[in-house]
A = this chain, B = another copy of it.
Amino acid sequence: MSQSTTTAPVDIDAVLAEVRAALAEGDWERAVTLIESLRPPDQADVFEELPPEAQDQLLPRLDLEDSADILEELEEEDAAEVAARLKVADLARILDEMEPDEAADLLGDIPPERAAKALAKMEEAEEVRPLLAHADDTAGGLMTSAEVLLHKDMTAEEAIAYLRSIAPDTETVYYLFVVDEDMRLVGVVSLRQLVIAPPDARIEEIMDPDVIHVRADADQEEAARLMSRYDLLALPVVDEDGRLLGLITHDDLVEVLEEEATEDIYRLGGVPEEQPIDVPVPAALRTRLPWLVLNLGTAMASATVLSVFESTIARIAALAAFFPIVAGVSGSAGTQTLTVIVRGLALGELDPRDGLRALAREVLIGLANGLVVGGLVALIAAVWKGTPALGLVVGLATLLNMLSAGIAGVLVPLGMQILRIDPALASPILVTTITDTMGYLIYLGLATATLTRFS
Question: Which residues from chain B contact A345 at a C-beta distance below 8 Å?
Answer: 1, 5
The reply to whether A265 and B264 contact each other, CB–CB distance below 8 Å, is: yes
Say yes or no: A271-B368 contact (C-beta < 8 A), given A39-B230, A292-B329, A350-B5. no
The reply to whether B306 and A372 contact each other, CB–CB distance below 8 Å, is: no
Say yes or no: A296-B376 contact (C-beta < 8 A), given A2-B222, A265-B265. yes
Q: How many residues of A contact B (CB 8 A)?
A: 128
Q: Which of A2, A338, A346 has the most CB of B within 10 A?
A: A2
A306 to B318, CA, bound (A): 8
Question: Which residues from chain B contact A173 at a C-beta distance below 8 Å?
Answer: 192
Say yes or no: A277-B340 contact (C-beta < 8 A), given A8-B229, A164-B196, A295-B332. yes
Interface segment, one of A25-33, A54-62, A415-423: A415-423
A373 to B294, CA, bound (A): 10
The reply to whether B257 and A233 contact each other, CB–CB distance below 8 Å, is: no
A41 to chain B, nearest CB (A): 5
From B302, B307, B313, B328, contact of A313 by CB (8 A): B313
A233 to B172, CA, bound (A): 12
A261 to B343, CA, bound (A): 10
The answer to the question of A195 belonging to the interface, with a C-beta cut-off of 8 Å to chain B, is yes
A311 to B343, CA, bound (A): 45
A358 to B2, CA, bound (A): 20
Say yes or no: A369-B285 contact (C-beta < 8 A), given A229-B7, A303-B322, A343-B266. yes
Say yes or no: A372-B226 contact (C-beta < 8 A), given A262-B343, A268-B268. no
From B2, B257, B317, B332, contact of A270 by CB (8 A): B332
A52 to chain B, nearest CB (A): 18
The reply to whether B192 and A350 contact each other, CB–CB distance below 8 Å, is: no
The reply to whether A285 and B365 contact each other, CB–CB distance below 8 Å, is: yes
Q: List 20 A-B contacts (CB under 8 A).
A: A1-B221, A1-B345, A1-B346, A2-B221, A5-B348, A8-B229, A9-B226, A233-B233, A254-B254, A258-B261, A262-B347, A268-B268, A268-B269, A278-B361, A284-B361, A291-B336, A292-B369, A307-B320, A311-B317, A324-B440
Known: A1-B260, A1-B422, A270-B339. 16 other contacts (CB 8 A): A1-B263, A1-B424, A5-B345, A7-B222, A9-B212, A41-B229, A191-B191, A254-B257, A264-B265, A265-B343, A270-B332, A277-B344, A277-B350, A292-B332, A299-B329, A306-B320
